[in-house]
Amino acid sequence: MFNIKSYQKADSIQEAVRLLQQNPQARLLAGGTDVLVKLQKGKGHFHHLIDIHGLDALNFIKLNDEGDLVIGSGTCFTIVEQSPLIRQHIPVLSLAISTIGGPQVRNMATIGGNLCNGVPSADSAPPLIALNAALTIEGVDGQRQVPLEDFFRGPGMVTLEPHEVVTAIAVTRENYAGYHGHFFKYAMRDAMDIATIGCAAVCKVENNLLKDLRLAYNTAAPVPIRCRRTEQKACNRQISQKLLDDIAARVSNDVKPRTSWRAAKDFRLQIISTLAQRVVGQAILNAGGTIQ
């Protein structure tokens, strides 16, 4: 049963910020696929809702004058997944989103909501972290930008003040031009399941040399995580099966999985290692590399 004490509809981002400032205990409502479920199950410790669903200022996908790809935080997953701009420039994000829930969920859930929940299993997080995405956040003091990698503080915790709204997610041209990627989600079921482990890799290949690699996971730590030490050891090496083997062997040093009812820690570590090899390997092939 829903225990909603107040509901307000914001007509703009600025009004949403003002309403949040007036009532710091309120929760934003965009797609509602998480917020309303928590309320229905009695798990939500919030009873005041501010509706931002349908705001044009949050619902867009565009290339700006610098060639950066910008996604409004209120854009639903279906629109993001099917966007020609996304599929052309960062198809790894489209691939990851296609694994989220089912069509009904993707038609309602928003990309901003998926990130703001702060859950370790957010499927949109690994590809966006691998693409060095940054968030635009608006509050009473104006706008600020935060790298997505720094946005997550712990399970269910993000770097948002009570009066702030995430308005957009941006991937700069320098972080996607010339890069290719891949994503794979390992789950116990094929349909509408939370990831046991999700892995995204983005790379740049020149003359069969791995010039740059970015590797990120969800559900491999208390927050979505990037494997920087593994990346550093892999960059500027000739592409070979040995390189992939080394990546798979090193990646366990960058992650902190835990045992849960979904999977044991040791099993997660095995999947993390296997996915590192397979996902990076496919990203290299997508970039035109040859594994020798």
Please provide the CATH number assigned to the domain covering 181-286. 3.30.390.50
From 259, 182, 253, 191, select the one nearest 219 (Cα to Cα).
259
Tokens 């790894």, located at residue? 92
Tokens 């007509």, located at residue? 11
Bridge-based pairing of strands 48-51 and 27-29 is parallel
Report the C-alpha gap between 56 and 60 in whole angstroms. Answer: 7
pLDDT for res 190: 62
The correct CATH number of 56-174 out of 3.40.50.620, 3.40.640.10, 3.40.50.920, 3.30.465.10 is 3.30.465.10
Report the C-alpha gap between 180 and 231 in whole angstroms. Answer: 15
pLDDT for res 261: 82
May I ask the CATH architecture of the domain 6-51? Answer: 2-Layer Sandwich (3.30)
Per-residue pLDDT of the chain (292 residues), as tens digits, is 577 889 999 999 999 999 999 999 999 999 988 888 877 776 667 789 999 999 999 999 999 999 999 999 999 999 999 999 999 999 999 999 999 989 999 999 999 999 999 999 999 999 999 999 999 999 999 999 999 999 999 999 999 999 999 999 999 999 999 999 999 999 886 666 788 999 999 999 999 999 999 999 999 999 999 999 999 999 999 999 999 999 999 999 999 999 988 899 999 999 999 999 999 999 999 999 999 8
Alpha-carbon separation of residue 62 from 51, 75, 85, 198 (angstroms): 24, 12, 8, 27
pTM: 0.95
Return the domain boundaries, the chain: 6-51, 56-174, 181-286
From 118, 109, 40, select the one nearest 75 (Cα to Cα).
109
Report the C-alpha gap between 116 and 113 in whole angstroms. Answer: 5
Q: Residue 237 in contact with residue 210, Cβ under 8 Å?
A: yes
**Strand order through the sheet with 48-51:** 6-9, 48-51, 27-29
In eight-state DSSP terms, residue 277 is: H
